[in-house]
A and B are shown apart, each in its own frame.
Chain A
Amino acid sequence: MNTLADAMPEAAPQAPARPLTRSALVSPLYWQMRRELWEHRSLWVAPVAVAALTLLGALVAIAHVPHSRVNVQLDPESVGAISVAPYAMAALAIMVVGFIVAAAYCLGALHNERRDRSILFWKSMPVSDVAAVGVKAAVPLLALPAIVFAVILLTQLLLMGLNAVFLLPAGGRFASLWSSWPLFSQTLVLAWGLASQTLWLAPVWGYLLMVSAWARRGPFLWAVLPPLGICIVELMSFGTCHVFHFLGHRLGGGFDLAFSEGGPHRQMIDAAQIDPARFFGSLEVWGGLLAAAAFFAVTVWLRRTRDPS
């Protein structure tokens, strides 16, 4: 059309094709991860909030301890029990919240973008479905365990600092403070515990991501009700609970595999109990990882083929 040609500046130079200088592989994955953390701020806010609460609790508890009791001689077992409790409780609380946040994240990760149709924006970018889903899977598998690890470690260091500030001037001994929480050995236990549980739960994350990519609405109900339905049908038909026990074992059975029994302490797991050989020798672990890979493949397929609008 003539008016169009007239409207064009004659001198408009052909834009030269700019070379693709930036790392074409790493940068998109990094920004894809940033995007996940922007959308799901609970991934780091929730663990930090729980950490702040446990620290507050510890502060209140320490303020209540009568100074006269600090030096009271108790048998070593009880000393361990008393002083270990806050460290272990903080770690456990943050970890549990981490798993809850991971589950909530997985259920929303592929559902939200379809519900608000923003998937059309994400898909207008040169990021493949494998990369997009891969980064989403890396949130519960890598990013969140790293966040939880860092938050727990920091919380325990601050707890130690609190104890030092309050107990040492009151006559506590540094050696007993240190022995109450062997930081290095416990950090190893924490790292292994997180790594092993993340791998153990990988099929759960994969399943939740798949439901998130599949369900048109109510991904939580779609994730929870079918397994529950199968349990009920099994119970009604055969009077057994195999599926229920299987699922329960998958959710909570990983710790028993990762650490050997019979440690020296009752209240905390010792680094000597770390048992990778048993963990990685278990068919259950490998079966779970295989299922996770299958869920991942289906999720990629669903994101690629589900009608965008």
Chain B
Amino acid sequence: MACIEARGLAKTFGKSVALDGVDLTVGEGRIVGLIGPNGAGKSTALNAILGLTPYQGELKVLGLDPWRRRDALMRDVSFIADVAVLPRWLRVSQAVDYVAGVHPRFDRAKAETFLAKTNIKRQSRVRELSKGMVAQLHLALVMAIDARLLVLDEPTLGLDLLYRKSFYDTLLNDYFDHSRTILVTTHQVEEIEHILTDVVFIDRGKIVLNAAMEAFESRFCELMVRPETLSEARGLRPIHERAVFGRSILLYDGADRAQLAELGEVHTPSIADVFVALIGGAHERGIAA
């Protein structure tokens, strides 16, 4: 059974279309990055998946309709919406007690073990913790829940580099196994690039790209072209062109690598480069038109 299955998922707020017929299947054991510009529909898609907002179209998460069965779904789904949503009046010990009390799959010992590795005091209130510590606390609570799907919506927004790095390291080393699925959105693509198994681009409510990382890497390639072969390279229909230190870098979708290698150096592009090519370009044309 697929972990998330969406068919024609749509959502409008008044006249503006947040989701415009999204088809998406996420299998078990994947780590999926949902990448899109601001206002692309990322949060709306996540809210629909988490049962926080009604929608049109078909959506099943772990076989359940999230809008009708949010409470049942939340036994198997955890989410961190962003770093600032733990109530400021809550004490650390109360947070652990509460989740232990209401969540049937919460393992208190596991949460205590995670917390013991931090400097967080049990009697502190959330308001007394630094932003990084709040993220650690939330992560400790979430990782102690034996969930099948973990949804992370900008979980490291506003954290410093060290916390961001350790956040994803902890997640990968101490939490993820191949029976769990993780769906994550972030603007800091380069930080999660190495942990993703799948990448999904969303723009203006539509899925623009949905690929496993292996497919992504074989499909896209980047050519740092020699000046004398530039016009020939341009003839091979690159999807994007940019200049770095006076040299042109052309991005190709599904081109023949051997053929490109004759024109210059061929690299595998980063997710961010392909993102800019596919979505940045569309937005520039949109502005121009």
Contacts and interface: CB of A to CB of B under 8 A. Distances in A.
B53 to A, nearest CB: 7
Given A24-B104, A113-B87, A125-B102, A1 B214 contact: yes
Interface stretch (A32-40, A237-245, A264-272, A292-300): A32-40
A32 B71 CA distance: 14
Contacts of A308: 47, 52-53, 81
A127 B71 contact: yes
A193 interface: no
B55 to A, nearest CB: 12
A34 B101 contact: yes
Interface in A16-46: 17-18, 20, 22, 24, 27-28, 30-32, 34-35, 38-39
B81 A120 contact: yes
B19 to A, nearest CB: 14
Contacts of A124: 50, 74, 78-81
A32 B102 CA distance: 8
A108 to B, nearest CB: 11
A12 B177 contact: yes
A117 B84 contact: yes
B88 interface: yes
B18 to A, nearest CB: 11
Contact of A15 (B91, B103, B146): B146
A179 interface: no
A305 interface: yes
Contact of A4 (B50, B53, B82, B195): B195
A121 B101 CA distance: 15
A300 to B, nearest CB: 12
Contacts of A123: 50, 52, 70, 74
Contacts of B210: none
Contacts of A30: 101
Contacts of B73: 126
A63 B202 CA distance: 77
B251 to A, nearest CB: 20
Contacts of A309: 43, 47, 81
A15 B179 contact: yes
Residue among B50, B87, B99 with the highest chain A CB neighbour number at 10 A: B87
Contact of A18 (B97, B105, B197): B105
Interface in B62-98: 70-75, 78-82, 84-91, 94, 97-98
Interface string A125-153: 11111010000000000000000000000
A74 to B, nearest CB: 52
B111 interface: no
Nearest to A19: B104
B102 A127 contact: yes
Contacts of B31: 4
B213 interface: yes
A6 to B, nearest CB: 11
A3 interface: yes
Contact of B74 (A1, A117, A125): A125
Interface residues of A, number: 42
A252 B79 CA distance: 46
Interface residues of B, number: 49
B101 A14 contact: no
B54 interface: yes
B97 A31 contact: yes
A126 to B, nearest CB: 4
Contacts of B138: 121
Contacts of A125: 74, 99, 102-103
For B79, B102, B179, B214, the residue with the greatest tally of chain A CB atoms inside 10 Å of its CB is: B102
A118 interface: yes
B85 A131 contact: no
A18 B102 CA distance: 15
Which of B73, B90, B91, B98 has the most C-beta atoms of chain A within 10 angstroms of its own C-beta?
B98
Contacts of B87: 39, 112-113, 116, 118, 121
Given A1-B214, A35-B98, A126-B71, A14 B177 contact: yes
A113 B73 CA distance: 21
A8 B177 CA distance: 7
Interface in B148-177: 172-173, 176-177
Contacts of B72: 126
Contacts of B71: 126-129, 131
A283 interface: no
B194 interface: yes
Contacts of A15: 146, 177, 179
B94 A38 contact: yes
Contacts of A127: 71, 74, 102
A27 B101 contact: yes
6 contacts: A18-B104, A20-B104, A34-B97, A117-B84, A117-B85, A305-B53
Given A38-B89, A116-B87, 20 more contacts: A1-B195, A1-B196, A1-B214, A4-B197, A12-B177, A15-B146, A15-B179, A17-B146, A18-B104, A18-B146, A22-B104, A34-B98, A34-B101, A112-B87, A113-B87, A117-B85, A121-B87, A124-B79, A125-B102, A127-B74
